[in-house]
Each structure stands twice: as C-alpha cells, then as structure tokens.
Amino acid sequence: MRTSLRWQILGLYLGLLVLGVGGLAAWSGYQLKRSAEERAYHELVAKALIVAAVVQEPLEHHRLPQAVVAGYARSTGARVVVLDRRLRVLASSEPAVSSHPTVPRQGWGVEGSGRRLYATVPVADEDGRARGAVELSVPEAAVLAPVRTAWAALAAAGVVVVGTVAVATSLLAAWITRPLRLLTDAADAVAAGRLSQRVRVEGAEEVRRLGSSFNRMAEQVEAMVAQQRAFAARAAHELRSPLASVRLRLEVLRDKVARDPVALEFVDDTLRVLDRLRRLTDHLLVLAAVQETGAPQRRPVDLAPVLYELVEEVSALAADAGLRLEVDVPPHLPEVLADPEQIGLAVRNLLDNAIKYTAAGGRVTVRASASDRSVELVVADTGVGIAPEHLPKVFDRFYRVPAAGRGPEGSGLGLALVREVVEAHGGRVDVRSTPGAGTEFRVRLPREASAVP
C-alpha cells in the first residue's frame, strides 16, 4: 500500500525528531546520573570526615557510645559504621551489620539489600597514626531518586516537544499537500471531461506556480475543445441543407432511371451513403447540444409513449431483417425530467444497432420498468454480441466494434451519443454482452422527484 506524501513528511520529521530528542535525553540522563553519583559520593566523604573528627577522641579511649553513631546517622541520612584499625565493626547505626570486608569500601558495592554507595575515611590520632575508620553509605535508591525525577521531567518534556512538533508538522504537511491533492482532483476532473474545473492557487511558491500553470493549461484545453465543438456543430448544421437537396435530386433521378438496373443500383448506393451522412450530422448536432446546454428543454415526460412510437418506427426494419420484435413496456411509466427527442434518438440508436447486428430469425426486445428512484429502459438482442476486450470502449467516440452487421458501417458516434444524452439527464447506461449470444443495453434515468432540473 502506498503512503501519501503527507504521511511520508510527517513520518520523516517525527523519526528524526524522536532520534534527536531520544539521543539528547539519553545523553542528558547519563550525565545527570554521573553527576548525581559524584555529588553523592563527595557529600558522603565530607560527612564521613566530620564524623571521623567527632569520634576520634572517644575511639582513642575505647568509649564510643552507640547513641553518638545513631545520632550522626540521623543527621547525615546515611548508615554510619565505625571500624577499628583492623576494620572490625566497633559501632553501627544499623544493628544488621554483623561483618565487614577486610578492605575499606569506596564507591558502589553490593550487599544483601542491594547496591549501596560507600565512602570510608580513616580516623587518626594527633600523631597521624590510624586508630580506625568511619564508613558512610546510602542505598542506590536514595542516590538515584533525584535522577529518576529528572528523567521523568526529561521524558515529559520530550513527549511535549514531540507532540508539539507532530502537530506542527502535520499542519505543515497538510499545507504542502492540500494544494497538490486539489490539483490532482482537478486533473482527474478535466480528464473525465469537466473542462471548466480550476484550482485555487495557494500553498508554497512552487505549488502556486504549478497551480497557475495547470489553470492556464485547462483554459487552453477548454478553449480548443470549445472551438472544435463549435466547428463540428456549424459544419453539421451547414451540411443538413445540401444533403437534403442532394437527396431530393437523387430521388427524382431514381424515378428517371427506374428502367436502368445499373443506374438504379448506383443511385440507391448513393442514397444509402447520404442516409449515413445524415445520421452522422444528426448525431453531431445532438452531441453539440448536449455538451453546450446539458439537456435542453427538459420537462416531465412519460417515456412509455416515446418507446411505443420508436418501436412502431423500427418495426418495418425489423420485419425486413427477418427479426422478431418483442415489447414489454407498461402503458405508462413514472415521469422523468427529460428531453423526449434526445432520449428518443438515444434509444433509436440502440434499436438500430440491435437490428443491424442480429441475424435473421433472431429477436430484439424492448423492456421498461420503474423502481422507487429510477426508470429503466432495456434494449436486448440475440445477435453477434461484443467481445469482452471491446466492451470498455464501445461508448468512446468514433470507436467501431469489428463485427459482421448488415448495412453500411457505422460512424462510431451512435453509442457515444447514447452515453452523452443519458449522463446529461443524470442517468447511466450499461452494456452486457456474450459473443454469439447477444447484447443488452440498460439505461437508468432518475424519476422526476430525484432528477436534477
């Protein structure tokens, strides 16, 4: 799974921050621990020297009272042990001490109760001769208690810093990536045909320049497509009259050459080409109208009469092709907001294709039904079908499926017009097909209550 740029930026910043803050906290904690141990040891040495000076005289006279040792233990906060010159315990503030090492203990050591920090200083008489020693010690917990408090403060500060930077980094990443996300959405919209889509220029300087470049590109593309559509519409409109005039003359000529089979066949072929050109110009004009105005003059329409009229129009064509035309349409359907001429032209294209690509003896079916939210129109046949690799492209303009159909080859605009018209009415069209078994086109249009006016 790919990670978005925002999370990549956030992860990188937080990773570096955790490494930096964690390393700094670890180094600071180590220094604090070392400093606390050194300070505690020097304090023990200083206190031990004071105790040694106090017990010097009693130690010389062998009259060291236990109460004195206990009092200094309370005042120093450490365990006080007085040793003779052979390091035997003479007095201790803790009765549990029953034995003692044969060498003075300095620094960290281990007893049954755990680690302790020791400081031992000699007790000397006026001549400098050693009379014994004083040992002070404290448990590890007493030494490291301030360190643990400092570590907790460091950890809390680290969490606050990481959290603050995480929020700031998230906002920064959002500020950086939001224009890019909007730009991507706009590019997808333009690719889907919504050429009026633009992006708001915001963010960093580089992102603003990118947004401005995209808007200029989209404006140029929209202008070029608008020019092409206008040219196609004008050309189709201008072709209508000449084509009608040529057809009229050819029909007159056909009556004149009715007794000449060769000339008659030539005129008939020309008339078929003219019919193809006429359908092409009609398709271009409808496409131009849909693209310019969406669905012009939409009004509440019962599509049942429209379907019956279309079936009546193509019934002769189906009979000539040796096909059975079946109709399963109720007398009335819920009204939809539609342009009946555009919807009629779209369904007529579906019927023409069904008749064209179904062999004699086959069947073409027209069905219609309604649900709570939509009206569904279906045109199905038992014809040659469409191969799976062609299905995703059948609604593309000028795409023609290579198939053995009767009559002249189509222009590749019929199904494109169907999709444009249906989608302009807020509906959708789907196709299902099995090669050799037939094809089914299913059109769904929203009912009037849910349609977009």
- At 402 the three-state DSSP class reads coil
DSSP H or E segment with residue 138: strand 130-139
Are residues 407 and 306 both part of a single domain? yes
Domain that holds residue 411: 294-453
Is residue 146 one of the residues assigned to a domain? yes
CA 207, 208, 209: angle at the middle one, nearest 5? Answer: 90
Q: Are residues 401 and 305 in the same domain?
A: yes
pLDDT value at residue 451 = 47
SS3 of 126, please?
coil
* Per-residue model confidence (pLDDT) at position 129: 77
Please report whether residue 369 resides in a domain. yes
Taking the chain (453 residues) in runs of 10, the rounded mean pLDDT of each run is 64 75 77 85 87 76 71 82 81 68 80 83 78 86 80 78 78 76 81 77 78 85 74 66 78 79 82 76 68 64 93 90 93 90 89 90 93 92 90 81 57 80 88 91 82 44
Based on the fold, state whether residues 20 and 101 are members of the same structural domain.
Answer: yes
Structural domain contains residue 147: yes
Q: Are residues 329 and 301 in the same domain?
A: yes
- Whether 67 is covered by a domain: the verdict is yes
- Total number of domains in the chain: 3
Q: List the structure tokens of 60.
A: 């010389």
Residue 167 in any domain: the answer is no
pTM of the model: 0.49
Domain presence at residue 171? no
Strand partners, 376: 369, 444
Q: Decide if 101 contacts 78 (C-beta within 8 A).
A: no
Q: Which pLDDT belongs to residue 290?
A: 64
Same domain, 316 and 289: no
Residues 16 and 147 in one domain: yes
pLDDT at residue 322, as a whole number: 92
Q: Are residues 377 and 248 in the same domain?
A: no
DSSP sequence for 299-359: EEE-HHHHHHHHHHHHHHHHHHTT-EEEEE--S----EEE-HHHHHHHHHHHHHHHHHTS-
Give yes or no: residues 225 and 307 share one domain. no
Asked if 93 and 198 sit in the same domain, the reply is: no
Res 99: pLDDT: 60
What is the domain-level CATH number for residue 230? Answer: 1.10.287
